[in-house]
Amino acid sequence: MVKDKIRPSLEEIKPYVPGKNPDVETVIKLASNENPLGPSKKAMSAIRAGLKKINIYPDQHALLLKDALSRKLGVSPAHIIVGNGSDEIMQFVTAAFLNAREQVITSKHTFSTYEFVTRVFDGEPLFAETRDRAHSLDEISGAVTLTTKLIFLCNPNNPTGTIFTHKQLVKFLNQLPKGVIVVLDEAYREYVESKDFPDSLALIKEGRDIIVLRTFSKIYGLAALRVGYGIARPEIIKYLNLVKLPFNVNGLAQIAGAAALKDTAHVKRSIKNNKAGKKYLYKELDALGLDYKKTEANFIFVSLKQNADEMFLNLMRKGVIIRPLTSFGLPQAIRVTVGTPAQNKKFVEALKKVL
Ligand SMILES: Cc1ncc(COP(=O)(O)O)c(C=O)c1O
């Protein structure tokens, strides 16, 4: 009955495929790039204190959190918008800027929400070819047409952990026609070790039309609270605010985010754990002769010579949940989150048995 009433573009929407959550305590989840060390203790005590005020609506402008972010990032609060997860801000971007049938470019094999938010607003997604499994900025700029409005770039890229550099990004931005807005999704920025990673905030201060997205879901360990943020020129932020519902970010998420920012020891511990885990996993994957990508994030992309869904089921039977990349269009690849030393060991042991 209602089928003929929905907008045709909605028929193209594929539901998001999340990482599976464990059914029992003994199973470990290395599927969604969450922080294996858990949330910051400072965030947890801020939440406990905040519980007394959950009868009161949250600050619709998230001013305390924006203030804390502004001091940390060295931009004004007017450069910042806070979302119910950074994925909500992706939707603000298409809601504010995308007209029906305008083109949105991203790469093949990347985070699927860019396609989702494009289709919700009747845009035309275009998926550029990747090179060596990474974003190819040349392919993307070659795909730009007169109808291109937005470009979504994931850096480091989910699921490959690859990056493009500051120099490559500047060259790319210089080639773009005026009026094209570039979204840089930096959900995993805090894990990056490369010195060549883009200084995206400097590019915003130069006045470029870019929107940088970051999140409290990954290194800050607050995925369940749903809080992320966007940084852009105040003019762009002003338009994103026009499409935001007033109380989009709950009060506990706002105070937990502000407290987590102050917990630099937790962030340092998380980075240290990730570096050590990467090193251990590289060594073990090398020993197994597996083809994987060196990562700038908290997950590792592994190419298989077998079906990833089968590998997922086999590993789950051994108590480890990883992410098969079938929904990313890569049916013979998996992505594994770097866990604690014990979790990494459990994954390697399970992998050895399954292979
Ligand atoms: C590249 C990328 N961007 C954004 C997100 C979503 O972040 P949030 O939890 O802030 O919505 C994820 C989550 O997996 C991600 O991998």
Q: What is the pLDDT of residue 211?
A: 98
Q: Is 34 in the pocket of ligand 1 (CB under 6 A)?
A: no
Tell me if the domain spanning 18-39+265-354 has CATH number 3.90.1150.10: yes
pLDDT at 77 over 80: yes
Range 41-262: architecture per CATH: 3-Layer(aba) Sandwich (3.40)
Mutate to test the pocket of ligand 1, among 114, 115, 217 (most ligand atoms within 8 A of CB): 217
pLDDT reported for residue 45: 98
Per-residue model confidence (pLDDT) at position 8:
81
**Closest ligand 1 atom number to CA of residue 86:** 10
Distance in angstroms (rounded) separating the CA atoms of residues 11 and 252? 36
- Percent of the chain beyond pLDDT 70? 100
Q: What is the pLDDT of residue 185?
A: 98
The finding on whether 91 has its CB within 6 A of some atom of ligand 1 is no
Say yes or no to pLDDT of 25 above 90.
Answer: no
Question: Which pLDDT tens digit goes with each residue over 1-18?
Answer: 788 888 888 888 888 888
Ligand 1 pocket residue status of 263, Cβ below 6 Å: no
Domain parsing of the chain, residue ranges: 18-39+265-354, 41-262
Structure tokens at 85: 């997860």
pLDDT, tens digit (0-9, with 9 covering 90-100), for 171-204: 999 999 999 999 999 999 999 999 999 999 999 9
Which atom of ligand 1 is least distant from the CA of 216?
10
Q: Which of 218, 219, 248 to mutate to test the pocket of ligand 1 (most atoms within 8 A of CB)?
A: 218
> Which atom of ligand 1 lies at the shortest distance from residue 33's CA?
14
Residues 6+ apart with CB under 8 A from 185: 86, 90, 111, 114, 152, 153, 154, 155, 213
Query: What backbone phi and psi angles, to 5 degrees, belong to 89?
Result: -70, -30
Q: State the average pLDDT over residues 83-107.
A: 98
Average pLDDT over residues 141-159: 98
| For the chain, percent of residues with pLDDT exceeding 90 | 93
Output the pLDDT for position 303: 97
**What pLDDT digit, counting tens, does each position of 108-121 carry?**
999 999 999 999 99
Q: How far is the CA of 2 from the centre of ligand 1 (A)?
A: 32
Q: Is the pTM of this model over 0.95?
A: yes
If you measure from the C-alpha of residue 86 to the centroid of ligand 1, how many angstroms do you get, rounded to a whole number? 6
Q: Using a 6 Å cutoff on CB, does residue 228 contact ligand 1?
A: yes
Most informative mutation of 215, 250, 328, 335 for ligand 1 (most atoms within 8 A of CB): 215
User: How far does Cα 176 stand from its chain's mean position?
Assistant: 24
Per the CB < 8 A criterion, the answer to whether 293 and 133 are in contact is: yes
**How far apart are alpha carbons 229 and 260 in whole angstroms?**
14
The H-or-E segment that residue 44 falls in is helix 41-50
Q: Is 187 in the pocket of ligand 1 (CB under 6 A)?
A: yes
Contact indicator for 146, 114 with CB cutoff of 8 Å: no
